[in-house]
Structure formats: C-alpha cells, structure tokens
Amino acid sequence: MQCKGFLFDLDGTLVDSLPVVERSWCRWADRHGLSHDEVLNFIHGKQAITSLRHFLPGKTEAEIQAEFSWLEQTEANDLEGITALPGAQALLNTLDDAGIPWAIVTSGTVPIAHARHRTAGLAAAKVFVTAEQVKRGKPEPDAYLLGAKLIGLAPEECAVVEDAAAGMLSGLAAGCRVIAVNVPADAPRLDEADIVLTTLEALKVVRQPDGTVDVQLKS
C-alpha cells in the first residue's frame, strides 16, 4: 500500500486504555441499571456523547451533558494501566525521523485523550483531533476529513490506522486508505481495508524521495 501520511486513532490503536474505558462505562452502567455487556458492545470507537444519547433517549440535553461531565471526569482521572501498545512508539518515531506527516484522530475529548497520550509516553502529535472539533463523530467521516486537512493532504493520500469498526467505517467514508489493527473479524467492510494486522510491530514504512510512503508487512 502507498500513502503520504497517517491518521491514527488513539484508544486501542496507539494506547491500551481498554481497562479504563470498560471500568468507567461499567460504573456508569451501574448508575442506570444497564447491562455491562449491552453498554460495552456499543461504545467502542464512538464519541461518548453519541453513546449517552443512545442509552438515554428520554433525557434532556442538559441531563445528557451532566452525564457526559461525570463520565469525562471519571475517565480522565483513571490512568491506571494506561500503556503504549506494542510498536506504537517505534512507528511514530520512524515517521518523525523520516519526515512523514501524521496526526492523532480520536473520539475522545481533550481531557481524556491528552491524559492518556501523556501517560503512555507517546511522541508529541503536531496535529491532535478530538471530539470537540467535529459535529459528527465516527463512523461519520468528519474527524478523518479534518485530520487529513490539518496535515495538508487529500484524504486519499492518508492511511487511517484503526482498531474499532466505527473508526474503520469513518476512514472508509472519508475516502482514506485503511489499516485495520485488531479490528473484530466480524466487523462490516473489513474486507475493504488495505492492510489487516494484529500489531503495529508488523508494519514497515519507507518514504520515497517524492514523499510517497511504501507501507508493507514485515516478513
């Protein structure tokens, strides 16, 4: 596969935050008498506000915003177990050393996303797209379209790197190339991903003189 830049999801792609996410949402589910499985099967890859509106259809916007504030504070303050996923730091360092543009494009808000990014010790992102910057979250294409624009590339020149079905659909809808990392095997349109792999450690990237990046699986 070839591209000119990368757009990375954060949670589950660069950072292992699954224990924190699931702890926080289970606590929230308990507050509302909801099944843990029902909540956890819906939330991944989506903006929190989208999930809250789904599970609280009868609530006012003010009530939903109050729930959002509770959840955001809970997640931002729980950093136990946050680590960089295998291969993430090395890949970002390789991109920086080669002058290959990249961005983080997350469904998380600024307090949560920046806390997890910082705790994981990842390379600084020059472009960091969070939930506050787009009206429609994943699986809509808005976030990845904005990410491509901010790194100065057309969507079709970008490779979206995602672990969640909603994020992969967002990348496809934006017209980007897609690298699926640990995306569930039953995810819709997984067969349309350019590369499917289980770890970022398997990726090899080489920048050509014209700025084109060759992306391969290590042998």
Over residues 168-199, the pLDDT tens digits come to 999 999 999 999 999 999 999 999 999 999 99
Instruction: Write out the two tokens for 36.
Output: 């843990």
Where does the pLDDT of residue 219 fall: very low under 50, low under 70, confident under 90, or very high at 90 and above? confident
Catalytic residue among 11, 78, 142, 163: 11
| Measured torsion, CA atoms of residues 203, 14, 114, 19, in degrees rounded to the nearest 10 | 180
Q: How far apart are CA 155 and CA 132, in angstroms?
A: 21
Alpha-carbon 101 to chain mean position: 17
Give yes or no: 11 in active site. yes
Q: What is the mean pLDDT of residues 45-66?
A: 94
Q: Answer whether residue 103 shows pLDDT above 90.
A: yes
pLDDT digits (tens, 9 = 90+) for 79-94: 999 999 999 999 999 9
> Residue 116: what pLDDT?
95
Residue 113 vs residues 41, 60, 95, 151, 206: alpha-carbon distances, Å? 21, 26, 21, 19, 28
Instruction: Write out the two tokens for 156.
Output: 């079709």
Q: How far apart are CA 203 and CA 192, in angstroms?
A: 18
Q: What is the mean pLDDT of residues 114-130?
A: 96
Catalytic residue among 9, 16, 78, 142: 9
The correct CATH number of 2-16+82-217 out of 3.20.20.140, 3.40.50.1000, 3.90.1140.10, 3.30.70.930 is 3.40.50.1000
> Residue 208: what pLDDT?
96
